[in-house]
């Protein structure tokens, strides 16, 4: 067991197979894993690292090398898909991640105006090329590719509040837009897997139970994430992250087609585990704490997450760019140490 590689540990933990300890990862995408300190250290700063595959790969590689998370995770934002389909994006700076400035559609009825996502162009290609570079490096560190969830992507192509209203008032049009999202996200996801991604993580910051309520969560978030995941069946590991409080949709979570379910810091790991005994549960270290609290506190939060049954230890959301490297290192070190002490106690 001592020789298990980070990749095999993640693959095993995701399938709920016996492992020496939980992996400590951060998937990337909406769950951004990088921050200024590592950007400066690696000389791969934002915004350049969003558009240059060498720098994108270099940045996530550097974080792992520095004793950070036990994975590579890219991209570092949730705008690649929307931009490829026609949204105008501000790439941000060293502090701010890229964000959509203008939605191209006034209504989901205008889905025909969107551009098909081209995996050989723009930042979609940057992501694919960066995955290839990481794969070519030949390390035993798992590569996690990311997709912005179908509801969240649609909600940047049409203003989110219009989309939410149309979910109720114009379901036929909204469903057509969502189907367009799935077709194009599948292309991007498949290209990531072919390039060498070991896991695909889909994050839904907008299509949440808190925002939609149980009925629309089932009709939109669940339905289209599952269509997407069904089409990405080649992904060795499938991760779904849903932001926010889940209470109103706990009963729906088991229906997600995924190996790993990742939760926000407000969700009790032991509570969600009761609903999904067959899935690995990932989470959920508070990202604000990671940004501002001393390492001792981070160690405590990490131990707590493990004690509550985290199969995979991860931040609860995307990291702030002001997060100190020491806190991420502490999270990883604590995961390793805590599991060793637990094993000693249980007499292994």
Partner 1 sequence: MRNKAELLKVLSDCVVGMEDEAVVEAAEEYIAAGYPAMEGILKGLADGMQRAAVLYEEEEYYIPELLICSDAMYNGLAVLRPHAENTDSQKKHRIVIGVVEGDTHDIGKNLVRIMLETAGYEIHDLGRDVALQKFVDKAIEIDADVVAMSSLMSTTMSGMAEVIKMLEEAGIRNRVKVIVGGAPVSLAYAQRIGADGYSANAIEAVKLVDRLMGADTSSLGIAT
Closer by beta carbon to partner 1, 142 or else 327: 327
CA-wise closest residue to 26 among 211, 294, 296, 302: 302
Name the minimum Å distance from CB 161 to partner 1: 5
| Continuous segment of H or E residues that includes residue 291 | helix 287-292
- By CB under 8 A, name the one of 5, 95, 274, 343 that touches partner 1: 95
Q: Which phi and psi (to 5°) does residue 39 adopt? A: -60, -45
The site that binds partner 1 (CB under 8 A) totals a number of residues, namely 36
Name the minimum Å distance from CB 62 to partner 1: 19
Closer by beta carbon to partner 1, 116 or else 213: 213
Site stretch for partner 1 (CB under 8 A), options 104-112, 176-184, 227-235, 316-324:
316-324
Name the minimum Å distance from CB 218 to partner 1: 12
Q: Which phi and psi (to 5°) does residue 95 adopt? A: -95, -40
Residue pair 54/172 in contact (Cβ under 8 Å)? The answer is: no
Closer by beta carbon to partner 1, 165 or else 308: 165
Residues 23-42, interacting with partner 1 (CB under 8 A): 32
Tell whether residue 243 is a contact of partner 1 (CB under 8 A).
yes
Sign of CA dihedral 319, 324, 330, 333: positive
Q: Distances from the Cα of 175 to the Cαs of 108, 164, 170, 218, 230, in angstroms?
A: 8, 12, 9, 13, 18
Residue 242, strand partner residues: 204, 263
User: How far is residue 150's CA from residue 245's CA, in Å, rounded to a whole number?
Assistant: 19
User: How far is residue 213's CA from residue 232's CA, in Å, rounded to a whole number?
Assistant: 27
CA-wise closest residue to 7 among 137, 128, 122, 161: 137
Tell whether residue 151 is a contact of partner 1 (CB under 8 A).
no
User: Could you tell me the two tokens for 195?
Assistant: 């390039």
Tell whether residue 248 is a contact of partner 1 (CB under 8 A).
yes
Site stretch for partner 1 (CB under 8 A), options 4-12, 17-25, 56-64, 167-175:
167-175
Tell whether residue 321 is a contact of partner 1 (CB under 8 A).
yes
Residue 105 DSSP class: B
Closer by beta carbon to partner 1, 164 or else 225: 164
Residue pair 220/173 in contact (Cβ under 8 Å)? The answer is: no
User: Could you tell me the two tokens for 19?
Assistant: 């492992």
Tell whether residue 92 is a contact of partner 1 (CB under 8 A).
yes
Name the minimum Å distance from CB 212 to partner 1: 6
Instruction: To the nearest 10°, report the CA torsion of 134, 139, 141, 146.
Output: 20
User: Could you tell me the two tokens for 315?
Assistant: 């931040």
User: How far is residue 276's CA from residue 250's CA, in Å, rounded to a whole number?
Assistant: 9
Tell whether residue 325 is a contact of partner 1 (CB under 8 A).
no
Binding mask 109-148 for partner 1 (x = CB under 8 A): ----------------------------------------
- By CB under 8 A, name the one of 319, 328, 331, 332 that touches partner 1: 319
Binding mask 187-226 for partner 1 (x = CB under 8 A): ------------------xx---xxxx--x----------
Closer by beta carbon to partner 1, 58 or else 318: 318
Name the minimum Å distance from CB 318 to partner 1: 5
| Continuous segment of H or E residues that includes residue 40 | helix 36-42
Tell whether residue 160 is a contact of partner 1 (CB under 8 A).
yes
- By CB under 8 A, name the one of 54, 139, 320, 329 that touches partner 1: 320
**Footprint of partner 1 (CB under 8 A):** 32, 90, 92, 95-97, 99-101, 160-161, 164-165, 167-169, 205-206, 210-213, 216, 243-244, 248, 287-288, 291-292, 317-322
């Amino acid at each position: 067991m001592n020789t298990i590689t980070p990749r095999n540990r993640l693959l095993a933990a995701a399938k709920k197979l016996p492992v020496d300890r939980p992996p400590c990862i951060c998937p990337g995408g909406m769950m951004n894993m990088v921050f200024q300190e590592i950007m400066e250290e690696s000389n791969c700063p934002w915004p350049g690292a969003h558009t240059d595959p060498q720098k994108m790969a270099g940045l996530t590689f550097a974080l792992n090398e520095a004793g950070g998370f036990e994975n590579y995770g890219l991209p570092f934002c949730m705008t690649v898909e929307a931009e490829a389909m026609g949204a105008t994006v501000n790439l941000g700076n060293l502090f701010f991640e890229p964000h959509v400035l203008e939605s191209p559609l006034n209504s989901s009825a205008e889905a025909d105006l969107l551009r098909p996502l081209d995996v050989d162009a723009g930042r979609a290609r940057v992501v694919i090329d960066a995955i290839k570079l990481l794969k070519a490096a030949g390390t035993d560190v798992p590569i996690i590719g990311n997709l912005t969830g179908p509801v969240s992507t649609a909600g940047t192509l049409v203003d989110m509040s219009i989309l939410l209203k149309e979910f109720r008032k114009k379901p036929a049009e909204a469903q057509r837009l969502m189907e367009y999202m799935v077709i194009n996200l599948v292309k991007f996801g498949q290209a990531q897997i072919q390039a060498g991604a070991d896991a695909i993580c889909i994050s839904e910051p907008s299509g949440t139970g808190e925002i939609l309520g149980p009925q629309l969560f089932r009709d939109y978030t669940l339905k289209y994430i599952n269509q997407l995941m069904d089409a990405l069946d080649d992904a060795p590991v499938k991760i779904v992250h849903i932001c926010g409080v889940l209470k109103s949709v706990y009963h729906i979570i088991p229906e997600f087609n995924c190996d790993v379910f990742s939760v926000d810091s407000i969700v009790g790991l032991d509570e969600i585990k009761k609903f999904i005994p067959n899935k690995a549960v990932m989470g959920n270290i508070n990202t604000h704490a990671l940004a501002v609290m001393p390492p001792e506190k981070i160690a405590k939060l990490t131990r707590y997450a493990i004690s509550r049954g985290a199969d995979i230890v991860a931040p609860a959301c995307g990291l702030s760019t002001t997060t100190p490297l020491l806190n991420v290192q502490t999270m990883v070190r604590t995961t390793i140490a805590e599991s060793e002490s637990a094993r000693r106690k249980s007499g292994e």
